[in-house]
Amino acid sequence: MSLVVVGVSHRTAPLAILERTSIPSTDLEKALHQLSLKPHISETVVLATCNRTECYVQATRFHDAVDEITDFLGEWSGLDRETLSEHLYTYHDDTAARHLFQVAAGTLSIVLGETEILGQVRNAALRAHEAGTSRHQLGRLFRHAQEVGRRARTETKIGEGFASLSSVAVAMAAETLGNLSDKTVVLLGAGEIGMRMATAMASSGVHDVVVVNRSPLAAADLAAQVGGRHRPIEELPDALHDADILLTSTGADHVMLDRDDLEMIMSLRPGRPLLIIDLAMPRDVAPDAGLVPGVTRMDMEDCKTFVESSLDQRRQELSTVLEIVDHEVERERSERAHREVAPLIAEMRRRVEQIRQAELVRYRGRLEGLDPEVQELVDSITKSLVNKLLHQPTMALKMSANQSDGPLTTDLVARLYEL
């Protein structure tokens, strides 16, 4: 059984490919079940965020499972295998665990050390557990990853400064427009990222936040949290007539605003510019909307460029975070190895105890003539003898679990005890 991850991220693919491979939250359960039905996959967790789609699986056959995940991503995205493979990465066992731990620690995010990814890792594990596609192995691994993420942020300063894409969006807006306190902000989407952006905008001094969402209840709830207003999705064009900034982060699988929409909206507000920051995946605003006069459009690629200039302090913390990751990978390897030999140790002890009990039965006739105290002494002595004889092979199995010759030791013990 192997731990395998196959994925695509902002580090390996352009935004157009990330959009094609993205898995909206509403489709996540369907995706999990499709993967879990593959012949060589026994458990699966899908981590789908705005800048990565990763499939973590317990595989009965490594190469076959990799092919199955690749085929799944190809079918989901509509990309041919050759095009898709150029952007995929594959890790297994220790390297797969190290990759997940680095993701949780924020070292592989657009914003180094971002805080949002830890919640996304936790949510991915929870969704897979609820769907029944993640059980003991992946459940344990993802709990460990969350522990690594928390350690990275409490024991180092990697989370200081820009802590999330939401804070980056606010900083980008402030750099573009200056003081934001007198600006009207329309927020399209009331999910986790939308909530963080609304909070960040309110904290930066923005007094007029308008939340637009498909769910009126969700829009009203978020607006109440930040002291803003809310409008139904049908009134988005009207809401944009008075807006200075549009922040988008919906989970829609289609464009919410195209170039024609923006041209119509801008024609009704001549001379007033509109800044759009689109953090949705796939994008909510068509890329060519930025060509409309008066519209400035930014997305994930702009976020990557923006944060490059503010990473010096966090990069100084990176080596310490990677030391934490290495330590936790070694711990994960050790615990996994001991879990693998535990059934063999239990079976060896069961087999020897079976022999001991059989011998006591064979000599029952002679033992029945002895005093009860002597019979108990015989039972105690034989138990002690068995434990002493099994001590060395038990320790050898446990020690070999972390060594290269471990399989040879386990095979030898299995043959000696006919297991």
Tell me which residues are annotated as active site.
50
Helices (H), 52-203: 62-77, 81-85, 94-105, 116-131, 136-155, 165-177, 192-203
CA distance 411 to 335: 20
CA distance 228 to 70: 44
Structural tokens at position 199? 């909070």
User: How many Cβ atoms sit within 10 Å of the Cβ of residue 141?
Assistant: 22
Cβ proximity of 225 and 195 under 8 Å: yes
Q: Which of 192, 203, 173 is nearest to 115 (CA)?
A: 192
Cβ proximity of 182 and 370 under 8 Å: no
Place of tokens 């399989």: 407
Range 201-209 contact pairs with CB under 8 angstroms and sequence separation of 24 or more = 201/170, 201/173, 201/226, 201/247, 202/226, 202/227, 202/228, 204/170, 204/174, 204/180, 205/179, 205/180, 205/181, 206/180, 206/181, 207/181, 207/182, 208/183, 208/184, 209/185
**b/e for 197-233, b at 16 or more Cβ within 10 A?**
bbbbbbebebebbbbbbeeeebbbebbeebebbbbeb
